Every structure is written in structure tokens, then in C-alpha cells.
Structure 1
Amino acid sequence: MGATDDRLKGKVCIVTGSSSGIGRAISLAYARQGGLLVCSDLQPEARVDVSTEREANTDSLIVQTGGRAVFVRADVRSAVDMEALVQKAVEEYGRLDVFVNNAGVSLEAGRPLVRIHETSEEVFDTTMAINTKSVFLGCKYATAQMLKQDLLPSGDRGWIVNMCSIYGLTGGYCMPAYNASKGAVALLTKQVALDYAASRIHCSAICPGYTDTAIFVNTVKSANRERLEGNHPLGIGKPSDIVGAALFLVSDEARWVTGTLLNVDGGWLAGKK
């Protein structure tokens, strides 16, 4: 599985949206660092055929390279599925230490630009269900399980990482559903951090800029990509660029970190007022 320093040795980690893109990169990185993985998505295969994802499914690749992982199908919009996902982690490994709410969609990406009066109720409801309700459910069932558990040697009970976006922190043209969903994730993260700090459950969020995921590659036209590239002083990112933040936020080094909205955006927000 490559180099490891066992930063997450023995920690039980759930990652939603694990089959592709950022979720896949995080799952593989956690396993390399000794994490015990529960990979979750609608199906184990990558949704879009991307060159970096033509290998084995995420959970299979972890097992093939010496780690431990299982796959659990879950619809992140379903309370029944999300509760069962947490229970599967407990059945498999005995506890839950890390929950990454990564699954998400951008239904407006690659479509004609629309303002709110042109946005359908279906697009808004679906976006909020997958991007925001899923985070509510993940936090709900993860915290419920973590509260039952004894403190770890570090003095902590658990870590939650929510995948937010630069558009959870600033406006963006013609994406009313997506921006609203990610803005809600940003404040929900802070709420959970405040409510569970005394229980030693950490909750923070990562706010990525544009990254070369399957969805981005297949929906953004070349001319628009050039414009977006110019908005990132360090260029468009890769899923692997998110991994360092995702590792830090669930490691013992982050014992004094919670409620943080961590920009990993190639400098996109540096020039925003």
C-alpha cells in the first residue's frame, strides 16, 4: 500500500462517496496510514471511467495491498441506510472513530447557466438532499455511536469531516442550489463542533476549490476550464491534494482543532474580500 507512518493505526473510518474522486483518494490514504475502512457509495465501481480509477474498486484495492476494508452500499439521503452504515462499522470493527461526509453532487455543473427563478424545484431538492441532508444524517448517527464509546488514548472520542466547498464560503454565479447546500454544510459543521466539543468529538470541514474529479472533467468545457484554472493561483487541484487536510483533521495532531472550515483551494479565496 505504499509508505505509511500509521497516523491512523486502528482507527475505524467511514467514507461516503468512496468509489470515485476525492472519496476514493481519502479512503486509500486512510488505509495507508493504518485506518480500518468502511467504504460507502451507491455502487463499488467508479461512476465514471477515469484513467486513475480503472484499477480495482476502492475497498478491493485496499485489501489487495494489505489493508482492511469493506464496502457498504448506502444512499446518503436515507436515514435507514446511514444508520445501518454506522452499525456495519461497529459490527465489523467494534467501534467508529472517523466519519467523512464526502458524497455530493453538482447538478448545475455543465448545464446552461441558471439563476434562482430558472432553477427547478427538483434540482434544488435533490441537491439539498444529497449535499446537506446527508451531512445531517452522517453527523447524527456518527455522534450517537461515538457518545457510547470510551475515550481513546488521545483523550478524544471521534472525528467528523464534512466535505464543503469554496462555494460554502463565498458566492458563485448561477449555482443557487449547490451554493445553498454547501453554505448549510459550513454552518452545520460549526454547530456540531460546538455541541460535541465537551464530549471530545471533533467536527471540521474541508472547502476544496475545483479539482480534477470525474464530474469536473466530464462537465466542464475546455474554454471554461481555462477560465477556472486562472482563478486558482496554484491551478486546479487533484483529489490527492485534498488528502493531507483529510488526514490532519482526523489525526491526533488535530486534538485542538474543531469547527474549522479549511480552505484547500489553490489560493482561490485568497483574493476574495
Structure 2
Amino acid sequence: MASAASTFTTGQRLHEKVCIVTGAASGLGRAIALAYASQGARLVVCADLKPTPKSEFEAEQAGTPTHDVICQRHGQQKSIFVKTDVTIGKEVEALVEEAVKLGGRLDVMVNNAGIGGTENHGMVHEMTEETWDTVMSINSRSVFLGCKFACAQFMKQEPHSSGHRGWIVNTSSIMGLVGQMVYGAAYCASKGAVTLLTKQIAVEYAKHKVHCNAVCPGHLRTPMTQDQFQDREMRTAISALTPWGDEWGSAKDVAQAYVYLASDDANYITGVALPVDGGYCAQ
């Protein structure tokens, strides 16, 4: 299922910024990378375990790797793919080094890679330690590593022309703000950790003019949620919880928030966990 009206608006909101997006092969990460390239980024480094989308569901040009789509649209030097296991510090450090090697600096770090799929692992007393550790490693440890090595680079480079040193945008979730039965304890706890890590880094690095914000998506139509969305009973139950109703958000809808938080329009914003959720958290 391909997304309709999927072309991003072009502009210069990220003019000449060097950006990394983890989990860029599909879903929300792919949408963020395409949006950044459309807004004048000098270089978008797409990081993931594999370059191609996991599914054709809601995927724009599904058979083409994200970095190739960007190069086709915006020029051959505008994007690269770097294979990265975001749970391994040395690989995340190498990812940042590659971005700096090719782009001359790092301006924007999007820590987006993550997993869901814990809805069938039961309540806390039924959940295995392995499930907990895996989810926390991929969803939380990876964000810590991305922030760690991005901040290290920000601290040693000259400020951006705006006077600011760097922008971090982390992917949390509405389940990082409130509890919910669908995804379970490990997912909620991992995203809650992302939310509070974001706030702490914002406080620690504000005096150095480093922004750190998080986006908290609601229920989206992405490969991660394909089974839920196509299960009519589950889709209806989840839709009933959202004021916007049976119209789940698209990755493109949420990607626009990542553009804003990485742009000069957000010069006085840091430490925010921004829900993009059709009103879910307003209840």
C-alpha cells in the first residue's frame, strides 16, 4: 500500500545542515530523512541495519533505499547510507564520524531507530527478562548513545551560523507520556526513558546552545503498525481512543514536526516532548 500525496514541500528551513537519521530505511525514519532533504539539508546520513524498507505498506518508492530516493531528487551528494547497529557504541561513534568526514560537521541528530511489537509479550509478571532487555536496549540505550556522540561532536565544533551548536530530536511516543495496554510495560518504559533523557540533556547542554527535544507520535500508519492497522477490530479499538477518530496519522504528518524542531524556527525551544497524536494525550 503506497501513501498518496506523499511528496514533501520543498524549502530551505534546514539549509546546509548536516543531519543523521537513525532507523531511516522505513516508516517514520524514512519520512524524516525525505523531509530533511526536501528542506535544503546539505547531507542526510541514513542509518539502519539494512537500506531498504521493511514493507511496502505506506512506503513511498518502496523498492528504493531512502538515500537513493534523496539522491535521485536532490543530487548525488545529498545522502548516504551507513549500516549501523544503534545499540553498539563504537558503531554509533563511527556513524557520527562518517557524517563529519563527508559533511564537515554535524548539525542535527535524529535518534529514531526503535522497535514495537511487544503487545504479545504479556503483563509484567508474564514478560521475560530477555524481552525487557531487548526493548530497552534498542529503544533507550540507542538514544543515549546517539545523544552521547552527537553532543561530543557539538562540543568540539564551531557553532552553526545561527550561533547554536546542534539539534537533537529523539523519537519518544505517546506511550512515553502515558500508560497504555496495547504495547505493554517494556515499550512504555523505554519511551518514558527517552522522554526524561531528552529533558535532562536539554538542561545540561542549554548553556552550550545545544537543543534536545523529543517527538511523541501517536498511532501511525507505518510498517511497525501494519498488523494493527489492518486488523479491523484492533484498528477500531485504538481509533476509539483517539479524538481524531479512525484516521491514523501518516509518517509524513509527524515528520514535519522533526523539521520544525531542527530548524531555526525553534531557536528558543529545548526539553520539549511534543505529542503529534490526533489529540490522544489531550484527554
TM-score normalised over the length of structure 2: 0.92
Measure the CA separation in 2 of the matches of 1:159 and 1:118: 39
Matched-pair contact (CA < 8 Å) for 2:27–2:59: no
Could you tell me which residue of structure 2 aligns to residue 126 of structure 1? 134
Q: What corresponds to 1:79 in structure 2?
A: 89
> What does residue range 187-226 of structure 1 map to in structure 2 within 5 Å?
187-219=196-228, 221-226=231-236
CA change 1:255–1:85 in 2 (3 A) is: same
* Structure 2 alignment gaps of length 5 or more: 1-6
Q: Specify the alignment match of 1:13 in structure 2.
A: 19
Match of 1:107 in 2: 117
Q: Which moved more, 1:64-73 or 1:196-205?
A: 64-73
- Residue 48 of structure 1: aligned partner: 55
2:146 is matched with: 138
CA distance in 2, matches of 1:74, 1:166: 26
Q: Distance in 1 between matches of 2:84 and 2:228?
A: 25
Kindly indicate whether the alpha-carbon contact (under 8 Å) linking 1:209 and 1:237 is maintained by their aligned counterparts in 2.
yes
Please report how far the alpha carbon of residue 117 of structure 1 lies from its aligned counterpart in structure 2 after TM superposition. Answer: 0.5
- Structure 1: how far apart are the matches of 2:175 and 2:70? 32
Question: 2:30 is matched with which residue?
Answer: 24
Offset of residue 154 of structure 1:
1.2
Q: Shift of residue 229 of structure 1?
A: 1.2
Mapped contact 1:228–1:236 kept (Cα < 8 A) = no
Distance (Å, rounded) in 2 between the aligned partners of 1:51 and 1:82: 28
CA distance in 1, matches of 2:55, 2:18: 28
2:4 aligned residue:
none
2:273 paired residue number: 261
Query: Which consecutive residues of structure 1, in runs of 5 or more, have no partner in the other structure?
Result: none
Aligned residue for 1:96?
A: 106
CA distance in 2, matches of 1:10, 1:39: 16
Which amino acid counterpart does residue 17 of structure 1 have in structure 2? G
Counterpart CA distance in 2 for 1:51 and 1:97 is 29
Other-structure match for 1:179:
188
Q: Are residue 148 (structure 1) and residue 160 (structure 2) matched?
A: no
- Distance between the aligned counterparts of 1:20 and 1:229, measured in 2? 23
Preserved CA contact (<8 Å) 1:27 1:37: yes
Cα distance in 1 for partners of 2:152, 2:59 equals: 36
Percent sequence identity is 47
Give the AA of the match of 2:261: L
Give the distance between the partners of 1:115 and 1:4, measured in 2 at CA: 45
Equivalent position of 1:70 in the other structure: 80
CA deviation after TM superposition for structure 1 residue 48, in Å: 2.2
Deviation at 1:207, TM superposition (A): 0.5
Q: Secondary structure at the match of 1:99?
A: strand
For these two proteins, the number of residue pairs brought into alignment is: 269
Q: How far 1:107 sits from its partner (Å)?
A: 3.0
1:198-234 deviation line (CA, Å, top 9, x unaligned): 0000000001111001010124522011111121112
Mapped contact 1:18–1:24 kept (Cα < 8 A): yes
In the alignment, the residues of structure 2 paired with residue 236 and residue 10 of structure 1 have an alpha-carbon distance, to the nearest angstrom, of: 33
Is the CA contact 1:164–1:208 (under 8 Å) kept in the aligned structure 2? yes
